[in-house]
Amino acid sequence: MVGFFLQRQQLAENTEAIRAQLVEMRRAAEQAEVQSRAIEADELHSRQDTFLRIADMVNGQLATIGGFLVMSAVIEIGPDEMTKPGGGQELWARTGAGDHTAFSGKMFSLVYSDEMPAPTLFWGTEIRSNHTRNFMAAFDRLIEHARRCDPDGIIADAILDGHHGRIHRIMRESAPAG
């Protein structure tokens, strides 16, 4: 009988020890899950930070391509387009100072003032067609990368609704058939 009570007491102690281990294992699993989420968030933040640095370089590239496009187009309008206020020299200076949207603004101005229709501006010569295709390809790659690093789509939406995104849309809409 004494042996039975000793066994029962030992079983109760073992059960309590196992219960304590289970509680500790659950805490460890919860902590591992929290750490996993933190690592995942840190990795996403790192990808987004890297993307934003790349996006700045691509926006510089788009500004330069846009500058080539505008310069090619305004030469048809007249030589004073380079030196007048808001002309080519001023736009290049603004771009050099970090304004990557200066030439996109000029493209809007040309198209929406009816100074130069979009098909003529973007596709009117072989040189401008090449610049337009280069702009579109760089922009498409930028959006592809934005979507990969931003599951909510906020970054891609902001880029699509920015100056370069709207110019990209006009380029697509004005592209020749075929």
Half-sphere exposure of 27 (CA within 13 A, CB side): 6
Confidence of residue 10 (pLDDT cuts 50, 70, 90): confident
Confidence of residue 42 (pLDDT cuts 50, 70, 90): confident
- How crowded is residue 158: how many other Cβ atoms within 10 Å of its Cβ? 13
pLDDT digits (tens, 9 = 90+) for 108-164: 999 999 889 999 999 999 999 999 999 999 999 999 999 998 989 999 999 999 999
Half-sphere exposure of 23 (CA within 13 A, CB side): 6
Compute the mean pLDDT over every residue in the chain, rounded to the nearest whole number. Answer: 88
Q: Where are the domains of the chain?
A: 46-174
Whether the predicted model's global pTM rises above the 0.85 cut: no
Question: Which residues, at least 6 apart from 100, have a Cβ–Cβ distance to it below 8 Å?
Answer: 59, 60, 62, 63, 164
Q: Tokens standing for 110?
A: 């040309």
Distance CA 143, CA 141 (A): 5
